[in-house]
């Protein structure tokens, strides 16, 4: 089953142009042809069965046929994470999307491993992971910015669980949404980061267990714990 994310509105009878990347994927990678069916979603109108109406070099169009899954509310969990090396950041975006996060907030901390992120690349990874994991939405990717800026305009109703290794913090347990998880960089949070976090009333330090996890592992484990079944 091929699932593709599109920007256009979805409704029966609509014709929608594919992006050149989607056309290439359908024709060359998946060897599909006109008449084959695909599923489309845009984050607003649910999931639709559609047919490939035309497929040529770098071009394709779909005809939208019928609604197969109505739009539903996703969990409302954000992941704020210190930007890591490129491949690891890619992995975090992919796994966090599979784990259902509604927003991704990359931040620069004292010991962040990279000076910038390629937002376009991360967006593409999130779209692909949303397609693959049968989500009906793609997480919102916020622009990367310093930790203090992200904390400065934090929404009052959202608790932020800051994962702190070696810190007598209580274990992370499932939370009702809206919630957010904060994971530090490979080198851990620095003293200035910690001071900043301590000053924020909405920050709750949490432990992910007795072992020191790599940042990417901590993201995956933390998101799973935060959303353990039966809560939220």
DSSP string, 46-66: -EEEEEEEEEETTEEEEEEEE
Q: Is residue 113 close enough to count as binding ligand SAH by CB under 6 A?
A: no
For the segment 182-221, give every residue that binds ligand SAH (CB under 6 A). 183-184, 186-189, 207-209, 211-213, 215, 218
For the segment 136-165, give every residue that binds ligand SAH (CB under 6 A). 163-165
CB of residue 140 to ligand SAH, shortest distance in Å: 22
Nearer to ligand SAH, 107 or 141 (CB): 107
CB of residue 110 to ligand SAH, shortest distance in Å: 11
CB of residue 97 to ligand SAH, shortest distance in Å: 19
Cα(226)–Cα(232) distance, integer angstroms: 9
List the structure tokens of 71: 């739009």
Nearer to ligand SAH, 53 or 213 (CB): 213
**Per-residue string for binding with ligand SAH, 35-74, x by CB under 6 A?**
----------------------------------------
Nearer to ligand SAH, 133 or 207 (CB): 207
Which is nearest to 194 in space by CA: 82, 35, 53?
A: 82
Residue 107: which H helix or E strand, with range?
strand 103-108
Cα(129)–Cα(101) distance, integer angstroms: 11
Nearer to ligand SAH, 67 or 213 (CB): 213
Number of helices (H), then strands (E), belonging to the chain: the values are 6, 12
Burial tier of 168 (Cβ tally within 10 Å: 0-12, 13-18, 19+): exposed
Nearer to ligand SAH, 26 or 218 (CB): 218
- Residue environment code for 177-211, b if the CB has 16+ CB neighbours within 10 A, otherwise e: bbbbbbbbbeebbbeebbebbeeeeebbbbebeee
Nearer to ligand SAH, 27 or 151 (CB): 151
Binding site for ligand SAH (CB under 6 A): 163-165, 183-184, 186-189, 207-209, 211-213, 215, 218
């Amino acid at each position: 089953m091929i699932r593709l994310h599109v920007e256009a509105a979805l409704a029966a009878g609509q014709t929608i142009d594919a992006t050149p990347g989607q056309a290439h994927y359908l024709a060359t990678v998946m060897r599909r042809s006109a008449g084959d069916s695909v599923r489309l979603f845009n984050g607003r109108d649910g999931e639709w069965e559609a047919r490939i109406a035309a497929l040529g070099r770098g071009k394709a169009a779909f005809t939208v046929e019928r609604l197969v899954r109505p739009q539903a509310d996703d969990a409302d969990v954000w992941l704020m994470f210190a930007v890591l090396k490129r491949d690891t950041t890619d992995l975090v975006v992919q796994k966090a999307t599979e784990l259902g996060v509604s927003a991704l907030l990359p931040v620069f901390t004292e010991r962040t491993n990279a000076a910038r992120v390629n937002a376009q690349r991360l967006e593409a990874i999130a779209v692909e992971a949303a397609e693959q994991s049968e989500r009906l939405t793609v997480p919102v990717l916020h622009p990367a910015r310093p930790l203090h800026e992200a904390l400065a305009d934090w929404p009052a109703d959202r608790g932020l669980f800051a994962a702190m290794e070696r810190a007598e913090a209580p274990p992370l347990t499932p939370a009702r949404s809206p919630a957010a998880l904060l994971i530090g960089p490979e080198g851990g949070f620095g003293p200035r980061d910690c001071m900043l976090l301590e000053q924020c009333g909405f920050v709750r330090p949490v432990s992910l267990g007795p072992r020191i996890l790599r940042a990417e592992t901590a993201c995956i484990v933390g998101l799973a714990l935060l959303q353990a079944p039966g809560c939220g």
